[in-house]
Structure 1
């Protein structure tokens, strides 16, 4: 009889659910892994119930994830601190809950690309990827920041998003899952400690830019002719000649001999002084080309770091 009483006391500790709320914007995923698509998301201070616990991608040092009453998973780090212990107060979701089932498609970047934590240019940069970098796409999102004329962004196994416009060709999204709804996220609150591929990783900028980066930016030629050169120097050979008021697209900025140059989508360099707009001025904050090289260039060859 004593054994039956003890068993009853143990089961009484298990709750059918625990009420909580999101501490920050948080994604509720189809599995407890960073690369899994979102089923929905909870905004900061939004209340919901969690019904069981499981293990998944380590977020800010924490591998515990919680299953929402909606049937999707949120990292424990993103909800208010619980005074008890989820692992003793809730049932374990089961070993199948820890599985990751992804759709994956290979692609190659056509341009220098900032891979962002969410599909907007105001979102933090996770990785700087060079042109011709091979990436693995996991899902697609149709309502991101419009780049030139395309609002589609794709999530990569770097756990960040690239604009479809930056790929050599559009992927066949019939083979990929939709990413689901995506909230605004910040790296400092949602650092992914493991669980994603290290392939093609680049170090993010150590300090956020004062102005939101704009990429790819659209400018027009302000001189009768603007020569696009093979390197950011007047002595370099001309690869193209742009005409007055011609529309061109810029990838990044570099400083050479106290002169700002911009690399265009034709992979040549045009002087900023030949343009109507000033990419290095107050209206834009285009990324530095050196960011895509994994380090600072030789100042004797490519100019000084900004």
Structure 2
């Protein structure tokens, strides 16, 4: 598989605080990669490092084959567009003027493609309306439009739907899907709004307290999240011993109930439990959501 981005053991320390710790992830070409974590988990820190806005304390990353420690990384970043934290827009300018300013900053010889970008993000009819009078959703789309100047094929978006109303969220989602489908742009999108992210992401990386706790494709996640098995036993300590031996993910619900997030061979499980004098009292298949799977990995609240 071809990867647009690979990080290898990246860490970022602010004095004694570890914002990132030995973080390694892989973003496949053509993916919509959902970078999932609570507020303060380290998502924005990593995105800023990839964009060259900060340097890691240790570790390195590879962007389009260029190592972060090599001079070629500057050239590789030209293929990258980003909206990190808040869109960088000039509030006293129109949408078109904002894009023209970005063309100048990048040193592009003409405004070729400007109108196409405005049409792409749904801002072609804003005319002389200044950005300060845009809705939050329109500003977010303008920020994405600015990041698309220069024809990048990798886009980094930091919480792009944060604070938007339902219509604004739908518009951003449709835009991201359009960028992938029609323009083959790879997207790395950070978010803590899991219900929305689950509607379009193709891959996920779950981060907690600066550490990557799980990296998984949508297909793998669907197998786990589509259904899970709730098991009632008479000896939880013995049951978890068996589940650990089988190498499956699980979540303890009570002293007698455990949820297992994997396909199980029931006969094998029963035999293994019997060997440690653990009786399986009941077994039921249930539906699992992305939110509850995330909670099983990191605990706490999703902030949704």
TM range (shorter): under 0.3
Between Structure 1 and Structure 2, the one with more helix by share is 2
Q: With structure 2 as the length reference, what TM-score do the two structures score?
A: 0.25
Highest relative contact order (Cα 8 Å, sep 6+), 1 or 2?
2
TM-score by length of 1: 0.25
Q: Which has the higher strand share?
A: 1
